[in-house]
Amino acid sequence: MGYFGDIADSLLTTVKGMAVTFSHLGEKANTVQWPHEPATTKPRTRGELFNNIDDCIGCGNCAKACPVDCIGIDTIKSTKSVDLGRTSNGKKKTLLLARFDIDMAKCCYCGLCVDVCPTECLIMTEKFDYSSAAVKDLYFRFAQLDSGQIAAAQEALEEEKRQAAAAALAKAEADKLAAERAKAEAEAAAPATGETPAAPAGEAPTPETNTDAGSQA
Residues in contact with ligand SF4 by CB under 6 A are 49, 51, 56-62, 65-68, 70-71, 73, 102, 107-113, 116-119, 121-122
Measured CA angle at 214 (ends 210, 217), to 5 deg:
140
Instruction: Please say which residue, 61 or 153, places its beta carbon nearer to ligand SF4.
Output: 61
Is the CB of 102 or the CB of 153 nearer to ligand SF4?
Answer: 102
Write the CB contacts of 198 (distance below 8 Å, at least 6 apart in sequence).
Answer: 186
Shortest distance, CB of residue 61 to ligand SF4, whole angstroms?
Answer: 4
Provide the pairing of β-strand 49-51 with 71-77: unpaired
**Cβ closer to ligand SF4: 99 or 183?**
99
**63, 102 contact by CB (below 8 A):** no
C-alpha 14/C-alpha 5 separation (Å) is: 14
Which residues have C-beta within 8 Å of that of residue 105, sequence separation ≥ 6?
Answer: 70, 135, 138, 139
Nearer to ligand SF4, 103 or 160 (CB): 103
* DSSP output for 79-104: PTT----B-TTSPBP-EEEEEEEEET
Q: Which C-beta is closer to ligand SF4: that of 9 or that of 54?
A: 54
Q: How far is the CB of 50 from ligand SF4 (least distance, A)?
A: 10
The answer to whether 74 and 153 have CB atoms below 8 angstroms apart is no
CB of 92 to ligand SF4, least distance (A): 12
- In angstroms, give the least distance from the CB of 153 to ligand SF4: 17
CB of 46 to ligand SF4, least distance (A): 7
